Structure 1
Amino acid sequence: MTTMKDIARLAKVSTSTVSHVINNSRFVSEEVRQKVMRVVDELNYTPSVLARSLKIKETKTIGMLVTASNNPFFAQVVAEVERYCHQQNYQLILTNTNDDDELVQKNLQLFAQKQVDGVLLMCTESHFQSTDFCLKLPSVIMDWWPEELNADKIFENSELGGYLATRYLIEMGHQDIAILTGSFKKSLAVNRLNGYKKALQEANIPLREEWIIEKHFHFEGGIQAMQSLLKQKQRPTAVFACSDAMAVGAYQAAWVAGLQIPQDISIIGYDNIELAQYMSPPLTTIHQPKKLFAQLAVDTLLARIKNPEKKHRTFMLEPSLIIRSSVKRLIS
């Protein structure tokens, strides 16, 4: 196996000079650089990434721990994180815990063994309950985590998103508005409900507790929540599904019940997943800036890796309304 010493001997320079040329760590004259690189090419030399990482204590890898979910929103965020990591010349090691506390511990140990430079944590389900663990690596929490950690955090303004969704339904003439939400163990579910309540209060619309249906943020949760709602004696004219995955489930339950959207019941979602625009009818929803979310998370983690002692920060991203065809106008 070719080493820097072999290159130095053939190029008739010192080993340190070869190292500076290969790592571009110090000025070397163009003449010497070309001489070294000719030998590098002749010997087909490839630097040892492992040896370099051990020397400078940097592996150019990031670990990402995600709990299980069939919600497409998280899949899109993960894809954006991976794409942006590659742009920054970092590799991403992705692990899925399947809501298993023991797997959390094992995956964190894996990250330590792989000597990742930092960790992104994204809890996708509220029924996952993390046990206490010691996280010594630079970390960023994305969206939510079930316990308080000493880490940077990236959130979206979910109360504003809930408010925007409900206010739009009211502006379209709806007074009878139900909400299908994920578990209230998850803070963003509570925040979106608070936004819903705020919009109703501003419009002097009474809150109906029976129209607040708590399930989970995935497809089946949307089906179950919509089925529960449709069994009630009085049916709302509009439904705010607190995730697009729930909205997909609500579409399915409405179809099974023989209802048409938006003629018989209007639905607005949350997340603006890619599928939303292809649904029939296309889903009106609240957009979360997934690319910005991923980029900010990676940038924040890289900054933490470079400066682990600085004060931890919390970032809040702003949602926006995407109008499509799933909400019927009741007023002219």
Structure 2
Amino acid sequence: MKKAVTLIDIAKACDTSNVTVSKALAGKSGVSDALREKIKQVADEMGYVGVKSTQNRGGNTIGVLIPSKFINPNGSFYWALYNALVTRLKKENMFCIMENLDQEDEDRLMLPHCIEDKQVSALISLGQLSKNYAKLLNDNVKDLVLLDYYVPSLDLDAVVTNGYSGGYKLTSYLIKMGHKKIGYIGSKFATTSIFDRYMGYVKAMIEHGYEVNEKWRIDDRYKRDFITMTFPEDDMPTAFVCNCDEVAYRAIRQLRGMGYNVPEDISIVGYDNYLISEVSDPTITTINVDADYMADLAVMTLMDRMEEPDGKPRIRTIEGDLVIKDSVKRI
């Protein structure tokens, strides 16, 4: 039986990336007209039939699994990611079913209904799950992509932001603004993204010869529930790097209740450039995460997995840019 032509095959033939190939075939911007025509011609000549060929493997409905506690009723970064996924999947003639996963079901290793009832042909897991649950999904889902997290001990496809680089950029910016006593807000072992951003913070501090004081490392959650942060009673740092915009927003409110003003007394930075960073008072300096591109890459990774089931899993990272707003004071 002849092997199906994949995006990777077309990319190699055109001497370009499979991301560019996917954009060209989907009619998206970012590809020159000449290269787009070349890609389409090569795809036709090679007999590429696209994602619709996945229908004979159980349909073209994709599940998106999100832990319930990551879904804020007032909106969240994950809502933006989910909406971007829906839009991208629709362009590929795929349908999408979202299912929330309760903590109890995760702890009991209960399979999602969409998998148990065979409603979907593949799954995107959005938001950190335990290693045991990720393994359960891997054992029961043929085509699986982790989005916004990875599991170091499991060889799975994943799409994440470069949290290490982002944490380094945020901390370096605070140092550039004159800060030397800088803390970090985030339960560092709660998620891989929090830990990676923490390690970027640590690198920047050590590189500049400044102390990484554990007293200034503040827990922000227990499992997935946010908790009241416990700040030091004295010897406060002049700035905090927060693991996300939601935590930065909560920190600003809690510090204000303690009599501190941001940024006059303490500077704050976040991560994601999610809506809350803009409606916050002050607006929050942050790292921008392109949710649309992240969703594009997740769908392309899933398509690659469907077409190349025996291909080596990859972790794909996305760089974020520093966005300067009002929550940092030069000292």
TM (norm. structure 2) is 0.74
Q: CA deviation at 1:146?
A: 5.3
Separation in 2, partners of 1:82, 1:106: 22
Q: Cα–Cα, structure 1 residues 132 and 297, in superposed 2: closer, same or farther, change >3 Å?
A: closer
Separation in 1, partners of 2:222, 2:171: 18
Is the contact between residue 63 and residue 120 of structure 2 (CA under 8 Å) also seen in structure 1?
yes
Letter in 1 for 2:297: L
Is the contact between residue 63 and residue 118 of structure 1 (CA under 8 Å) also seen in structure 2?
yes
Query: Does residue 142 of structure 1 match 2:147?
Result: yes
Give CA-to-partner distance per residue, 1:101-132, whole Å, 9 cap, x none.
2676331x533533522111123467x86275
The runs of 5 or more residues in structure 2 that have no matched partner are: 1-51
Give CA-to-partner distance per residue, 1:229-286, whole Å, 9 cap, x none.
1x42111111111111111110110221232211121110011112211211111011
Is the contact between residue 217 and residue 246 of structure 1 (CA under 8 Å) also seen in structure 2?
no
Higher mean displacement: 70-79 or 298-307:
70-79
Letter in 2 for 1:169: L
Is the contact between residue 146 and residue 159 of structure 2 (CA under 8 Å) also seen in structure 1?
yes
Matches within 5 A, 1:1-12: none
Query: Does residue 79 of structure 1 match 2:83?
Result: yes
Give CA-to-partner distance per residue, 1:200-220, whole Å, 9 cap, x none.
112111221111112329997
Separation in 2, partners of 1:114, 1:315: 28
Matches within 5 A, 1:135-174: 135-145=140-150, 148-174=153-179
Give CA-to-partner distance per residue, 1:180-226, whole Å, 9 cap, x none.
013414222222111111111121112211111123299973x622x
Q: Cα–Cα, structure 1 residues 149 and 217, in superposed 2: closer, same or farther, change >3 Å?
A: same
SS in 2 for 1:224: coil
Is the contact between residue 63 and residue 116 of structure 1 (CA under 8 Å) also seen in structure 2?
yes
SS in 2 for 1:94: strand
Separation in 1, partners of 2:134, 2:305: 24
Partner of 2:305: 304
Q: CA deviation at 1:287?
A: 1.5
Partner of 1:130: 133
Separation in 2, partners of 1:241, 1:217: 16
Partner of 2:266: 265
Partner of 1:97: 101
CA RMSD of aligned residues (A): 2.7
Q: Cα–Cα, structure 1 residues 147 and 110, in superposed 2: closer, same or farther, change >3 Å?
A: farther
Partner of 1:4: none
Same amino acid, percent of matched pairs: 29
Partner of 2:7: none
Separation in 1, partners of 2:107, 2:182: 41
Partner of 1:29: none
Match for 2:219 among 210, 214, 217?
214
Separation in 2, partners of 1:236, 1:288: 27
Larger Rg: 1
TM (norm. structure 1) is 0.74
